[in-house]
Amino acid sequence: AQSVTQLDSQVPVFEEAPVELRCNYSSSVSVYLFWYVQYPNQGLQLLLKYLSGSTLVKGINGFEAEFNKSQTSFHLRKPSVHISDTAEYFCAVSLSGSARQLTFGSGTQLTVLP
């Protein structure tokens, strides 16, 4: 079975500052990795995904993440945040080769302060 740990439940950051949201996973087999964003009372929107290949993955809205197999991490970064980035961010894994059901972390609330 897979599990996901998001180490920070809340991250406040000032506008235009950089941010990193941390994600560690546990799995005995190869996995796919995802970051989703959720705005209040909305569903989840995919930010980026790692399936294979380059370990640095670029997504929408200027976000990127790096897959580190040795550290079993998939941290999300953005060099300069905007007020509109305020949302809940979820890291998720699925078994590789199937992209079936996702196992989610508990989420990180990113709050961008003016």
Distance of CA 110 to the CA centre of its chain: 11
Q: How far is the CB of 110 from another protein (least distance, A)?
A: 15
Record the tokens describing residue 112, joined without a space. 């961008």
Binding residues (CB under 8 A) for another protein: these are 4, 34, 36, 41-46, 49, 51, 90, 92, 97-107
Shortest CB 3 distance to another protein, Å: 11
Give the C-alpha separation, 58 to 98, whole Å: 22
Is 54 or 70 the residue whose CB approaches another protein more closely? 54
Q: How far apart are the two ends of the chain, measured CA to CA in Å? A: 41
Shortest reach from residue 42's CB to another protein, in Å: 6
